[in-house]
Amino acid sequence: MMDIFSGLEFNPFLLSFKLAFITTSILFVLSLPLAWYLSQTTSKFKPFFEALTALPIVLPPSVLGFYILWALSYNSPLGHFFEEYFDIKLVFNFTGLVVASCFYSLPFMVQPLQSGFEGLSKNMLEASYVSGKGKFETLLRVAMPNIKPSLLTALIVTFAHTVGEFGVVLMVGGSIPEETKVASVAIYEMVEMMDYTSAHIYSAIMLLISFLVLLAVYIFNHKHNKKFGAI
């Protein structure tokens, strides 16, 4: 049994976790004010922004990956600008993976946060405003402490979703060992090479990670609901 594991390369998993951690951190900072705005605004453009935010959920990864690849390539104004003035290439490297992952995992961070904010009592928020707290202070000191299950769900699901990405990261990053070859891409290559034993082991590890992540979320939410439901 140990001989099977000793022959496996686990760098793709480490790269996947690194990508997921960085992506989740960036998205949390960016999505928090966005989710707060969407939950509080009464603008007629709200459905448009919500649809735009949720687009990666229904858009085929190949389509999203293609447009991100084009937008970050040297032939696009953005890619040309970064490469020409900062000598930074945004495709087929880890930086490109982070940018692509942020687009692809955006709704998995925004939607749980928005749902949590929308579930808050309006009276509690109004009391915060009346007591002299601004919107930013209300967000940090009143809203966030009262949506802990939503915060945990957003962070963990975004992390797990990023770990399992395939189509977008393959198109934008390719399969460069120790640079862009994440676990999902490694499994794909193993199947192509008919190395089903390694593919089974990698897939089983990914399955176990995904299950444990979801189990942790459900256990926490169940305990939280039970605790506050009894109050």
Query: What integer pLDDT is reported at residue 231 of this predicted model?
Result: 47
| Contact predicate 36/125, CB 8 Å | no
State pLDDT tens for residues 166-189: 889 999 998 888 889 999 999 999
Please give the Cα distance from 81 to 89 (Å, whole number). 10
| Contact predicate 15/181, CB 8 Å | yes
Whether residue 230 is predicted with pLDDT greater than 50 in this model: the reply is no
Reduced 3-state DSSP string for 191-225: HHCCCHHHHHHHHHHHHHHHHHHHHHHHHHHHHHH
Q: What is the dihedral of CA 11, 16, 17, 23, to 10 degrees?
A: 150
Taking Cα atoms as reference points, which of 5, 8, 15, 10 lies closest to residue 165?
Answer: 15
pTM above 0.85, yes or no: yes
Query: What integer pLDDT is reported at residue 198 of this predicted model?
Result: 86
Taking Cα atoms as reference points, which of 31, 64, 66, 67 lies closest to residue 50?
Answer: 31
Whether residue 126 is predicted with pLDDT greater than 80 in this model: the reply is yes
